[in-house]
Structure 1
Amino acid sequence: MARFILMRLMHSIPLLIAIIALILLMLQLIPGDPVQAMVGDYPVSPAFREAITKQYHLDDPFPTRLLSYFTNLVQGDFGYSYQFQRPVLDLILTHAPRTILLTVTGFAFAIPVGILIGLISGTTPNRRTDHLVTTASLLVYAIPSFWLGQILVLGLSVKLGWFPTQGMQPMISRAQGFDWFLERVHYIALPALAFAVHEGTRFARIMRASVIDTLSQGYIMTARAKGLSRSSIIRKHVLRNSSLPLVTIAGYAFGTALGGAVLLETVFAWPGLGLLFVQAVRMRDNMTVVAVVIFAAIAIILINLIVDVLYALLDPRIRSRA
């Protein structure tokens, strides 16, 4: 297993290098004046333009700039954000925990609910319960997450005043201990709910299809012939074997979400990587854009590795081949 993990990590290095090179090339091809984008609408003097051009090597050939970026990246230098007046690594380390908090909270609700709904629907195929659950899941999944977030804000925040409309914490707070925790829960409730509803319905549909497929396998018929109870078959055989496709989809969705839930974070003004990415793109802060993409790529690679390990733990056949 250790060799398998090491080989996967080694294979991920060329992929990560290709992603970084591609995003840098795309930013290079975007039309516009990067110096003017740094200062906004203010006029740029020739001396200032020349200084910025030399400082950020904007006049160097692309291969030279690419090599320079990789050299600095190996040393832990992600560059400096002229727009935010901070090192890019500090921005990532500040915003990443907020995105991780939102993602983990959303998945903590989405995965159990999705498994439960999919299990109920899959074990009662083509019955009234199955039709009701499947129709409701399809309708809810069809709702875009950003639109659902806006509906929640209008209904539960603006109309009823139960939750704050945006942000992560109050402007002024003296709360400590458990009260401090409740304040943060109050702010994260709506974005996490919007995230969990969208992902949970997708997990439910995948789980339903997997449960139906598992129930048609020969070993399930053998278990029934042995006299095992329905609950025992579902708990010992159906649930575990049906979870494999869900692990794949959930792992990919989790890794993608760690790169920043752009739409939800924008709707709720949640100060995570998604909102940082949108702000950086608008201000043409290329170093920050590249850093967020790198963080997202690393997150997806690591989560996929974890998914492979979970596969090996859930399925002994995979473990023997690893």
Structure 2
Amino acid sequence: MIRLSGDTSMPGPLRVAKALRRTALQAVPTVLIIVILNFFLLRLAPGDAAEVMAGEAGSATAETLAALRNRFGLDLPVLQQLADYLWTLAHFSLGDSPRYNMPVAALIGQRLPNTLALMALALGLALVIGIALGALMASFVGRLPDRVLSVLALLFYSIPSFWIGLMLIVLFSVKLGWLPSGGAESIGAGYTGWEAFVDRLRFMVLPGLSLALFYVAIYARLTRGDMLEVRAQDYVRTAQAKGLPPFAVTTRHVLRNALLPVTTMAGIHLGGLMGGAVVVETVYSWPGLGRLAYEAVMGRDFNVLLGILLLSSLLVVAVNALIDLFQAWLDPRIEVR
């Protein structure tokens, strides 16, 4: 949490250490409550991993189901299952996956880099494109560029990401043949070094763009409104009166202060990016946590789902702490609490 403060005398490292300590103290009970709520909510879903696995094997007898439930501890009372899971977490383990027959941490570790790379690309595209479009809209407020870009932003905000993804596949993969329609890399190509990086980037462009366009619309509108509000402040008129070039006034005074709400929203949207990745990764067959979460839901693999939800919670807490520190750097009057 942040608030304005007139005291900026505390050295930077001390402010950072104070903020990180408070964030850690707040994060522990928050994450614990999230884990418990997720555990009980998932138990409300019909079926379990034993039923799915027995049905897929074609041997869904009462004896088989009982044996599977006993093997995975699904026949225990819910409170005892919760206590066992919390005890497992206390030993820095996420348990085992009944469906994949491997530790959940190892399974998540295989998919996590792909999702983080996709989320970083999507968030970077959304911020760069959204801020640039918002600044352009604010510069031509009330004129044709502002109106055209406002309509485009409204379209991106209204259209579902899966439909955008399908249309991008039709245009860039089917019609033009410029980009691949799915997967993570060219199978059997054997690329290394720079060629491997470029190859993976080609596969990331369409899913990253599909995930980013919704947030581009939000950041563009938010940047436009904040820049118009900041432009009316006294210190901006003072900078203009001193004879500073318009570009310097816009970048140093207007845009820098207008970025505060945008960065706040970016931290809030991180959880939404993870949720949107479920749809986008399924459309593009991207081997990430979103697709793993979908497979875990279909297979009732609750241990995997709990691990993904726990990781998402920790990621949101960490990024919001970094956003608070970034805002304090943008405006030294802001005190991180």
Does TM, scored on the shorter chain, surpass 0.5? yes
TM superposition score category, shorter chain reference? over 0.9
- Most deviating of 37-46 and 64-73: 37-46
Partner of 1:40: 55
Determine whether 1:175 maps to 2:204. Answer: no
Write the letter of the residue equivalent to 2:26. H
Aligned residues: 321
Q: Distance in 2 between matches of 1:52 and 1:60?
A: 12
Residue among 285, 292, 297 paired with 2:301: 285
Distance 1:229 1:170, change over 3 A: closer
Residue among 7, 26, 31 paired with 1:16: 31
Distance 1:259 1:136, change over 3 A: closer
Partner of 2:212: 196
Using the size of structure 2 for normalisation, the TM-score is 0.89
Aligned-residue offset at 1:128: 2.2
- Most deviating of 265-274 and 214-223: 214-223
Residue among 285, 291, 311 paired with 1:295: 311
Residue among 59, 78, 85 paired with 1:69: 85
Determine whether 1:317 maps to 2:315. Answer: no
Residue among 11, 21, 40 paired with 1:25: 40
Q: Distance in 2 between matches of 1:31 and 1:136?
A: 42
Summarize the alignment of residues 230-241 of structure 1 with structure 2, pairs less than 5 Å apart. Answer: 230-241=246-257
Alpha-carbon contact 1:38-1:285 (below 8 Å) kept: no
Residue among 197, 216, 237 paired with 2:232: 216
- Most deviating of 20-29 and 59-68: 59-68
Unaligned runs of 5+ in 2: 1-14
Write the letter of the residue equivalent to 1:194. S
Ranked by relative contact order (alpha carbons within 8 Å, sequence separation 6 or more), the top structure is 2
Q: Distance in 2 between matches of 1:244 and 1:151?
A: 33
Measured against aligned partners, the alpha-carbon deviations of 1:64-108 in whole angstroms (never above 9, x if no partner) come to 211110111121221111212221111110111000111112223
Write the letter of the residue equivalent to 1:24. F
Unaligned runs of 5+ in 1: none
Distance 1:309 1:175, change over 3 A: same
Alpha-carbon contact 1:102-1:188 (below 8 Å) kept: yes
Distance 1:26 1:258, change over 3 A: closer
Aligned-residue offset at 1:181: 2.0
Write the letter of the residue equivalent to 2:176. L
Aligned-residue offset at 1:242: 0.4
Alpha-carbon contact 1:78-1:291 (below 8 Å) kept: yes
Partner of 2:113: 97
Q: Share of identical aligned residues, percent?
A: 33
Determine whether 1:140 maps to 2:156. Answer: yes
Alpha-carbon contact 2:211-2:273 (below 8 Å) kept: no
Partner of 1:129: 145
Partner of 2:12: none
Q: Distance in 1 between matches of 2:273 and 2:29?
A: 23
2:334 match: secondary structure: helix
Using the size of structure 1 for normalisation, the TM-score is 0.93
Q: Distance in 2 between matches of 1:14 and 1:89?
A: 22
Residue among 71, 95, 98 paired with 1:82: 98
Q: Distance in 2 between matches of 1:159 and 1:136?
A: 23
Q: Distance in 2 between matches of 1:86 and 1:260?
A: 26
Root-mean-square deviation (Å):
1.8
Q: Distance in 1 between matches of 2:300 and 2:327?
A: 41
Write the letter of the residue equivalent to 2:41. M
Alpha-carbon contact 1:123-1:211 (below 8 Å) kept: no
Determine whether 1:107 maps to 2:107. Answer: no
Aligned-residue offset at 1:121: 0.9
Distance 1:40 1:46, change over 3 A: closer
Write the letter of the residue equivalent to 1:37. V
Alpha-carbon contact 1:262-1:274 (below 8 Å) kept: yes
2:127 match: secondary structure: helix
Q: Distance in 2 between matches of 1:132 and 1:259?
A: 30
